[in-house]
Structures are given as C-alpha cells and as structure tokens.
Structure 1
Amino acid sequence: MASDTLDRRIGAVVEPVVRLHDLALEAVEVRSVGKRRLVRVVLDLADGPGSLGSDLLGEASRAISAALDERDVIPGAYTLEVTTPGVDRPLTSPRHFRRAEGRLVTARRTAAAIADGAARSVTGRVVGADETGVTLRVDGSDAVVPYSTIENAVVEVELRRLEED
C-alpha cells in the first residue's frame, strides 16, 4: 500500500478523534523504521493562542491509539508518535497566525509584493489575523499583511518573557 494512501486512511480514522478533543490534525506521516512503521501524528490546538499541554496531548494520544487499533488500519507492527508542530513550524494558514497571537513573527514577502514596493521581510508581534491577512505590530504601529503577499512566515524564538516587553 502506498504511504500517501495509508497516511490518508490513518488521517480519516484520527480526524474525528482529534476533533472530539478540540484539537486540529496538522499532519500524518508514515515511514519505515527497520521492520516496523513509525506513524507520526502532529496535533495542535484548534484555534487561538496558547499551548497544547502534555495532559491533553497524552489523552488524545491514547484515544488515537485505541481508534487505530480498533479499526486495524495499519498492517503489521508500528510505533505511534503523537506530537505538536513545535515552534519552528512555518505559518501556512490563517489558523496558524491566530495561534501565534502575541508572538513575534517574521514574514518574508513574495517577489510580486517586493516588486510593488513592499520590504523583503517584516517582523512584528501578531495582534490579529483573519481569513485574508495578519496584523503585525511593528515599531508601535499596526500593519496589515495580506497572506497573498507572504512567501513564508515563522515564529521567532524569544529568550525573554512577553511580560518583560
């Protein structure tokens, strides 16, 4: 069975379980590790700022494991890894930007946006996001950056607490 087909079948079983826990399914990846398969399920909070705690992640992991065992979707032995996307994941959807509210983000602009006079990149704190763009606070002013002008964006790792700003 092709891995992408297996990924989709696993995703179809996992998605309803994830929704019951008010979480979002970010990715399902299946790869061979020796004679076993590694099934990696990436979860995140459904929306808004915050972090996915280990208790909820563990609860979701147990429910996902039970659902996969019950449906017997994965042939042979496998290891299930349920994780979060991590701070270095690219922001690729409006939900990702809403999840980054309050965080410092760097967005690199598209060639078309640069040709229209936009700076190559913009770094600011996310103060809002909707279906068309993200609002970044840059040097005390809010700037709306349409998603269509963003080539890629990431959360910047800050070594001090937000409360210290």
Structure 2
Amino acid sequence: MNDRTAAPGGLALVEALVNTVDLESGIDGLETAEVRHRFGITERDLTDVRELRESLRAACLAHAGHPPHREVTPLGELLARAPLYVAVDEHDGSATLAPADDGPLLSRVAAAVAQALTEGTWLRLKACELPECHWAYYDRSPGGRRRWCSMQVCGARVKMRRYRAK
C-alpha cells in the first residue's frame, strides 16, 4: 500500500519486515520460502520473527502517536538479545554497531535501529493509522506528521468514513 520509496539505510530492512503481512487480507509473506530466503530465516525461526515483526510494528505505531495494535513483547527486550559488536573503520576511525554471528535477522534489525538512532531517522519510521492496515512507511513529510501509508488509499478511506458519518 505504501506509495513512497523505501525507508533510508537499514530502516528499509525494518520497514520490509513489518510489511511482510497484509493485515486486511491476513496474507503473511513469511509463509513463503521466497520471503523467508530474502530475510535469511528458516521455518524454525517463524515464531521469533513474527514476534519481532509485531514489536517493530508497535514501535512504528508509537512513532505515529497510536497505541499498540495488540500486546507485544517490548522491542527493547527483543533487541537486547541481539549479538552485536562495534566495528571500527581502519581508515577514518568511525564506528558502528554491526551484526555478529553472520548477521542473524535480529542482529541486522538491531544494527539498523542503532544506525537510525544515530542518524535521527528512527522516529520517522511509522505505521499507518488505519487499524486494518498498520503498514510501515517512512515519513518524509517536512513536519513529520503523516498519518497514513498512502493518502490515496488509507487516507481517502478515513476521510470518506468521516464524511459519511456526518
């Protein structure tokens, strides 16, 4: 549903993970081998990955000022389990958090969140206000006040509902 370009940097991974399920239709992309391969996960990982996905969605909803869609494990609790290390560039001395252990998904997500925090972009990753959508999107609006993943789809639905209610 997102009518914008992908989130910048590592947030594209987070955005893509959150958007592996279509809440309206109930179709979960993680059920397909192709999507699992894209994220580097196996069927054994599905329970943990779904838990991570919904905790990320709850954080994105919070960034947009919306309550969580359901009870989830706090994201900080999940990310605290991620094996990371500090990678230092030999040439310029810059440092970043990097995934350990060949980059399991949890570590790649934790590194992406850390990078986004450093860059000041983390709070711009939001989830659509519409309960049947909650699609993750990167808010590029100047004021950072965007409410829907797509004005043409979800925004129009909300406005039409308000109009009909009058």
User: Which band: TM-score by shorter chain?
Assistant: under 0.3
The structure with the greater share of residues assigned to helix is: 2
Larger RCO, structures 1/2 (Cα 8 Å, 6+ apart)? 2
**More strand, by proportion:** 1
Q: What is the TM-score of this pair, normalised by structure 1?
A: 0.27
Larger radius of gyration: 1
